[in-house]
Amino acid sequence: MTTSEKNLNGKVALVTGGSRGIGAATAVRLAREGADVALTYVNGKEAADDVVRAVEALGRRAVALRADSADAGEAAGAVGAAVDALGGLDVLVNNAGIGVLGPLEDLSLADVDRVLAVNVRGVFLTSRSAAGRMGAGGRIITIGSCMAKRVPGPGGTLYALSKSALVGLTKGLARELGPRGITANLVHPGPIDTDMNPADGPYAGGQAALTALGRFGTAGEVASTVAYLAGATYVTGAEFAVDGGHAA
């Protein structure tokens, strides 16, 4: 099992939600491994442009695409736009996701629809579109959550529902695309210091205490596992906890 330097030379990656947090760190990490990178965003154009500049500073090509994963057409269309801009697609990282937490009775129908549209339907549609463009050696890597496996307190029902759906999606994709030499894997981050879940936020202490390592992780620590999976040739249908021992 090795991931040699520059193992993604000549490859093209698409990272959804690549303007900030785990997605931004992943885009830069894949570029460091040699990939050209397309990334999607919704509101963070300036942040997305910063990531494009960071990738270009590494000598790779990059493009930022506005594509809302909640919109079925845009979720699928991001793949074609990335292929048009960069000439192909080898690695898809389904990272875009939203967390709407709260008691059952406080969740509106719009909350339910939006979380499922971004975290589940968008991932399915982008993956299907990518599968249609990838050849042998294609990689689909999805960002799930430690809450797909274990919900450590109240208020996470909708989010956990959305992230656990990605387990079935990943296994199904692995079986369906394996004969074509395309792999599909799932990464479950624990508490990671990002805008979504800042390490100095009101619930941070409790989250850190639930991990074996007693701390939040960094976006770069998740990105390094994504980079490994982008290069791995005999790993598919698998789940990887990058959670500091949250699941231990």
Contact partners, residue 35, CB within 8 Å, separation at least 6:
8, 9, 11, 12, 13, 60, 90, 91, 230
Q: How far is the CB of 228 from ligand NDP (least distance, A)?
A: 17
Q: Return d(Cα 110, Cα 4) in angstroms, integer.
A: 45
Q: The dihedral of CA 198, 112, 93, 49: what is its sign?
A: negative
Residue 113, Cβ neighbours under 10 Å: how many?
Answer: 12
Catalytic residue among 159, 203, 228, 234: 159
- Of 27-35, 169-177, 186-194, 226-234, which part binds ligand NDP (CB under 6 A)? 186-194
Q: Does 138 engage in binding with ligand NDP (CB under 6 A)?
A: no
Q: Does 17 engage in binding with ligand NDP (CB under 6 A)?
A: yes
* Residue from the set 91, 130, 143, 227 that interacts with ligand NDP by CB under 6 A: 143
Q: How many helices (DSSP H) and strands (DSSP E) are in the chain?
A: 8, 7
Q: Does 23 engage in binding with ligand NDP (CB under 6 A)?
A: yes
C-alpha separations of 106 from 11, 41, 70, 156, 175 in Å? 44, 28, 21, 12, 38
Q: How far is the CB of 247 from ligand NDP (least distance, A)?
A: 12
Q: Is 203 a catalytic residue?
A: no
∠ CA 175-179-180, rounded to 5°? 115
* Residue from the set 138, 156, 191, 231 that interacts with ligand NDP by CB under 6 A: 191
- Three-state DSSP state, 174: helix
Q: How far is the CB of 191 from ligand NDP (least distance, A)?
A: 5
Q: How far is the CB of 3 from ligand NDP (least distance, A)?
A: 21
**Residue entry with tokens 């698998």:** 238
Q: Does 118 engage in binding with ligand NDP (CB under 6 A)?
A: yes
Q: How far is the CB of 179 from ligand NDP (least distance, A)?
A: 28
Q: Does 42 engage in binding with ligand NDP (CB under 6 A)?
A: yes
Q: Does 244 engage in binding with ligand NDP (CB under 6 A)?
A: no
CA atoms within 13 A of residue 245's CA, in its CB half-sphere: 9
Q: Does 44 engage in binding with ligand NDP (CB under 6 A)?
A: yes
∠ CA 236-127-26, rounded to 5°? 75
Q: Does 224 engage in binding with ligand NDP (CB under 6 A)?
A: no
> Among residue numbers 51 through 90, which ones bind ligand NDP (CB under 6 A)?
68-70
- Using CA atoms of 233, 31, 130, 98 in order, give the dihedral in degrees to the nearest 10: 110
Q: Does 96 engage in binding with ligand NDP (CB under 6 A)?
A: yes
- Of 12-20, 52-60, 130-138, 231-239, which part binds ligand NDP (CB under 6 A)? 12-20
Q: Which residues bind ligand NDP (CB under 6 A)?
A: 16-23, 40-44, 47, 68-70, 95-99, 118, 143, 145, 189, 191-192, 194-197
